[in-house]
Amino acid sequence: MNPVQTTIASTRSASLATNKLIRNTYILLSMTLLFSAAVAATALTLRLPAPGFLLTLVGFFGLFFLTAKLRDSSWGLAAVFALTGFMGYTLGPIVGHYLHLPNGGQVVMMAMAATGVTFLALSAYALTTRKDFSFMGGALFAGLIVAILMSLGAWLFEIPAMALAVSAMMVLLMAGYILFDTSRMVHGGETNYIMATIGLYVSIYNLFLSLLQLLGVFGGDD
C-alpha cells in the first residue's frame, strides 16, 4: 500500500471511529436523560425530600469519579446510570417547588424547551461546522471555578442576588461547554463515549436548572 492509500485508509478509519463515538454518545445520552427524567418524576410523585446542597455535591463528585474510573469497563455503564439517576432524584424536589408557584407549570415547560432548543442548536452547529472550540477550555474551567465559589457564597450567606448572578453565568458557561465537549468528540479530544455522555449530561442538567431559576424569578418566584 502506497503512502497515499495509507493516508486515505487512516483518515477513513478515524472518521468511522469518530462517527461511532458520536452515535454511541447520543444514544447513551438519550437513555440517561430518559432515565433521569423517570427518576425525577418518581421523586416528585412520592414527594421525596431534597438531598441538600452538600449531599448533592458529595453524591455527584463521588459518582462522577467512580464513572471515570470504570469508563473502560462494562461497569462504567452502570455507574453512568447511577450518576444520572442520582441527579434525576435531585431534580424531583426542585421541579416540585416550581410547580407549586403561580405559573409554575409554564415556567418548567419553558425551561425544558429552552434547554432542549439550546442543546440541539449548539450541538448541531458544532457537528456541522466542525469548528474546533478547544481554545475555550481554559476560560470555561476558570469561569466554572468562579461560579462554584460564588454559589457556595450565595448558599452560606443567603444572598439571592448572587445566586441569580450564578444562574446567569451558568447558562453561558454550559452553552460554552456544549460547544466545547461536542467539538472534542469531532476532533479527537474525547474518545470515550461514556465520558462524552457525562460531559454533555452535566451541561444539560446545569443549563436546565439555571434557566429554571432565572425564569422562576422573572415569572414571579421570590
Residue 109 placed within a domain: yes
For the chain, where are the alpha helices, taking DSSP H only? 3-46, 53-69, 75-99, 104-129, 137-157, 160-186, 193-218
User: Cα(first)–Cα(last) distance of the chain, in Å?
Assistant: 69
CA distances from 210 to 11, 105, 157 (A): 40, 16, 19
55 belongs to a structural domain: no
List of residues 6+ apart from 197 with CB closer than 8 A: 25, 28, 29, 32, 80
Span 111-156, pLDDT tens digits:
999 999 999 999 999 999 999 999 999 999 999 999 999 988 888 8
Whether residue 62 lies inside any domain: the answer is no
pLDDT at 57: 86
Q: pLDDT digit string (tens) for 44-61?
A: 999 999 888 789 889 999
Tally of domains in the chain: 1
Residue whose C-alpha cell reads 463515538 in the numeric block: 21
Is residue 160 one of the residues assigned to a domain?
yes
Instruction: Confirm whether 81 is domain-assigned.
Output: no
Instruction: State the DSSP string of 94-139.
Output: HHHHHHTSTTHHHHHHHHHHHHHHHHHHHHHHHHHH----GGGHHH
Q: What is the largest CA-CA distance in the chain?
A: 70
Ranges of residues in the chain with a pLDDT under 70 are 1-14, 219-222
pLDDT of residue 2: 57
| pLDDT of the residue at 221 | 46
Percent of the chain with pLDDT over 70: 92
77 in a domain, yes or no? no
Instruction: Supply the pTM of this predicted model.
Output: 0.91
In a domain, 32, yes or no: yes
Domain that holds residue 168: 3-48+87-218
Predicted local confidence at residue 192, as pLDDT: 95
| pLDDT value at residue 79 | 96
58 domain residue, yes or no? no
